[in-house]
Every structure is written in C-alpha cells, then in structure tokens.
Amino acid sequence: MVAPDGPTLLGADAKGVEWRADSDRGPTVAIVRFVYLLALAVWVGEIVFFSFVVAPAIFGVLGAARAGSVVAAIFPRYYAIGVTAAAVALGCAGLLGRGSGGGWWGGVIACLFVGLVATAWAGAVVHPRAQRLRVAIEAAGGIPGEDAAFQRAHRAAVTLNAAALLAGVAALGASAAALR
C-alpha cells in the first residue's frame, strides 16, 4: 500500500487508522525499533566489554602464553554474536529508514554496514589466520607475540575491532537523531 504523499504504509491500528514507517504509531514500528536498539546495544556492548574488561583480565591473570588459547576459544562466538547483532541492526535500520529519503538513517545504515564488514572480515579472515599462525608458532616452540606475521594479524584484528566500535558508536549517535 502506498500513501498518496510517498512512504509505504505498513499497517493500521485497531481503529483502522493507517500508519507509515516514519510514524510513531503502530506496533510493527515499535517492535522494529526495539529489535534495532537491542541489536545495536548487544553489538556495541559486546565489543566494549570484551575489549576493555574480558581480554585485559584474561591476559592479566593468565599471562600471554595461556591467555591466547582462552581468547582464541572465545573469538568464534564473539564474532558470530557481533556479525548477527550488526546484521539485525542493519536490517532493522533499513526498515526504519524506508521512505525517509536518506537523512540520518542513511548515515546510520552506512555506519552499520562499515561496522558489519569490519566484524565479519575480522571473524572470517583475520581470526582464522591468526589462529593458524599461533598454533604453528607454538608447535615450533616459538612465542606468537614475538612473531612478525602474528603481530600483523593481531594489529589487523585490533584495527578492525576499533573500526567496528567506532562505526557502532557513530550509528548509535546518528540513531538518536533519526529516532527523535
């Protein structure tokens, strides 16, 4: 259904009053907003908690040699949650921004896309490479943190994680304007 003035109508309330995607009325929009905000909070919160609480604590208590194995075991789940939450947020942002002509939602979508790509690349390419390097270096009796190739992989992972965090925070800021 298309409204004469533009945006696609998503439904009608109990009284038969139609509402648009950009309207504050309508249960579907409220649900999509809730899921969007939840996904964004999970994604950004996961990055902050792991980066500034979990990883430093693990390395501080166990030392680099033992902590690497623990963190390597966490990373597949970390990236799966991050990619899923970022993808859900991106999909919801696309729905919420429909008919808005870009504006704040265009910025939100761009930020979410950049962050999703950074998270997915880190999880699908960089982490497996770092894991293979770590295992091979340890099998040869070396220390991963002293190996140049492992250091490059680690720097790439940290850079991508920082990019995802910045993109998520930027999306959160733009969301504040888009949802007002």
**Helix%, strand%, coil% for the chain, nearest 5:** 80, 5, 15
Residues in the chain: 180
Residue 19 scores a pLDDT above 50 = no
pLDDT digits (tens, 9 = 90+) for 84-125: 999 999 999 999 988 666 689 999 999 999 999 999 999 999
C-alpha of 168 from chain center: 6
The pLDDT tens digits for 116-163 are 999 999 999 999 999 999 999 999 999 998 999 999 999 999 999 999
pLDDT tens-place string over residues 23-70:
555 788 889 999 999 999 999 999 999 999 999 999 999 998 889 889
Domain residue limits, the chain: 32-178
Residue type, 135: V
With a cut of 50, say whether residue 5 has pLDDT above it: no
